[in-house]
Amino acid sequence: MSGSPRERQLSTTVLVIGTGGAGLRAAIEVAEQGVDVLAVGKRPRHDAHTALAAGGINAALGTMDAGDSWQQHAADTIKESYFLAHPRTVEIVTRGAERGIRDLERYGMEFAREADGRISQRFFGAHTFRRTAFAGDYTGLEIQRALVRRTEQLGIPILDSMYVTRILVRDNIVFGAYGFDLRDGTRYVIHADAVILAAGGHTRIWRRTSSRRDENTGDAFRLAVEAGARLRDPELVQFHPSGIIEPESAAGTLISEAARGEGGILRNALGERFMQKYDPERMELSTRDRVALAAYTEIKEGRGTEKGGVWLDVSHLPRETITTRLPRVYQTMLEVQMLDITADPIEVAPTAHYSMGGVWVRPEDHGTGVDGLYAIGEASSGLHGANRLGGNSLIELLVFGRIVGRAAVAHSAGLDAQRRSADAVAQARAEIDDLLAADGPENVRALQRAIRDTMTEHAGVVRDETGLKTGLAELERIEARMSDVGVHPDIAGFQDLAHAFDLKASALSARATLEAALERRETRGCHNRSDYPELDPALRVNLVWSPATGVVREEIPPVPDEIAGLIREVSTEGKLVE
């Protein structure tokens, strides 16, 4: 192998891809079972996307409202999903939520508490009761810190600059993964009995997004699909109502829902409090899809600010409330815009925030249908349907991190042998070799930007048949250009190679999203079709996508009576207000 790159071989029982909250919680569970685990991530663990989650984490603890129950939490989740959530998944998360919170306490997480020591809980949009526990508006960061501390106590090995390019499979059974080190290009063959995919969603394929550069480019979707798994509801993407507009480098950075929870007011450029038109009852505390659509409509109809946004104002609140309840928002705006939110409003616009669909998984153990391959967190699907409740994603990672860690251990224990395939490894190796040899005229970054422009233009907050078809035609042209890229690793490392893989992931995710959005000819939750403004009862199904089959419909089981009885009707009022 002289002259060829270094390749190292590692072995572990369970491999976790992704070192955000979901990945670390799964790794902790495996280690606590006394089993070997290795976690790998493409960015430093302290800087994982989970650290950006601001508002809080949901569990029906009943500390503030004794009437709350897991059943009511489940009912709220299913109602807000517009009945696309899988009832079994919802039940597992809401029943397991309190246990998830207790686990965090066990890892030393500091929650905000009432004077008598109870965990404080606040209202979040569309919850029946106060059930969102928090730590200031730094909840995700505190959770990530607690999980990192626990992995350190357990001595879990974590490789921080590893880019996984392929999951290794033989006869539909996983036997590991292949990847390279982002700094020096060293290749890795990692043999593992089970692989847990926790590498996030695909919101980076829009121009304005709450994800940072080079994360959430759809890596998990591509890895899963190329291993033989499928995607469910990729078109269901949550646009958060309030992302900042500038500076360009920070566009899309979120202003937490907590700002509205504490009494923030939305106004258009004319100074009108426009939520009165769209949801007079809940106003700014309406659901994310409605507030985002309302802001989008105001901007589209010419009542937006010069820069294409609306105003979010908290300046009428007591200064102390802002600095103690919204410290992160206060700090961020001072840093990025020199804006004092105690005195001035914040200019915001809808921003791609969360992939509510993702890899198709079974509710019970989040298995993907490829033996030994599991998906969790934003990479997976089943809980959120067409609208995610704020605070549900953080609890989901804790509940399923625990369950999937156990499932992976059980899968490994049940294997007679780990059957490998030299062919699969050779293919993974060749894929990298071919890219490194690529010396075409096309620039990877420019093509990524082209995908973002296409998705923003044709598959944003509001969609229609013509736009989606145009988007697919544009994507085809981009895909054709992708065969002519040039990849040039440099003295700074192998980032360029990583971007080329990000581009592949983004193109696959964009295709899945556009094809499913075309098929969903209705308006439901986050998915607004201006040419089909009504809910279609026949589309109360999940859309499952793979390159081989395209989009197929999958029935959703009925909601159990004890939950169904607590659901109030979903109204579409205030949705597409013409």
* Residues labelled as active-site residues: 288
Write out the H or E segment, with its range, that includes residue 548. none
DSSP category for residue 254:
B
Alpha-carbon distance of 527 to 55, in angstroms, equals 23
- Rounded to 10°, the helix 392-413/87-106 angle is 90
Encoded amino acid at 210, one letter: S
Q: Which of 211, 172, 206 is nearest to 453 (CA)?
A: 206
Using omega within 30 degrees of 0 as the cis cutoff, is the peptide bond preceding 234 cis?
no
Q: Where are the alpha helices (DSSP H) in 285-421?
A: 288-298, 319-325, 327-337, 392-413
Residue 523 has which token pair? 């308006």
Torsion of CA 11, 14, 16, 22, to 10 degrees: -160
| DSSP three-state, residue 206 | coil
- Rounded to 10°, the helix 21-32/139-154 angle is 30
Q: Which of 120, 116, 86 is nearest to 101 (CA)?
A: 120
Under a CB-based contact definition with an 8 Å cutoff, are residues 63 and 118 in contact?
Answer: yes
Q: How many whole angstroms from its chain centre is CA 72?
A: 24
3-state SS, one letter per residue, for 356-379: CCEECCCCCCCECCCECEEECHHH
Sign of the CA dihedral with 8 first, then 12, 16, and 19 last:
negative
Write out the H or E segment, with its range, that includes residue 104. helix 87-106
Alpha-carbon distance of 78 to 90, in angstroms, equals 7
Alpha-carbon distance of 390 to 183, in angstroms, equals 36
Percent helix, strand, coil in the chain (nearest 5)?
Answer: 40, 20, 40
**Which residue, chain included where needed, has tokens 């697919």?**
472
Write out the H or E segment, with its range, that includes residue 310. strand 310-313
Q: Which of 529, 519, 531 is nearest to 461 (CA)?
A: 529
Angle at 351 between CA 347 and CA 355, to 5 degrees: 155
Q: Which residues of 447-481 are buried (b: 16+ CB within 10 A; e: fewer)?
A: bbebbbebbbebbbbbbbeebbeebbebbeebbeb
DSSP category for residue 117:
S
Residue 499 has which token pair? 């971007």
Q: Is 366 left (phi over 0), alpha (psi -120 to 50) or beta?
A: left
Write out the H or E segment, with its range, that includes residue 244. strand 237-244
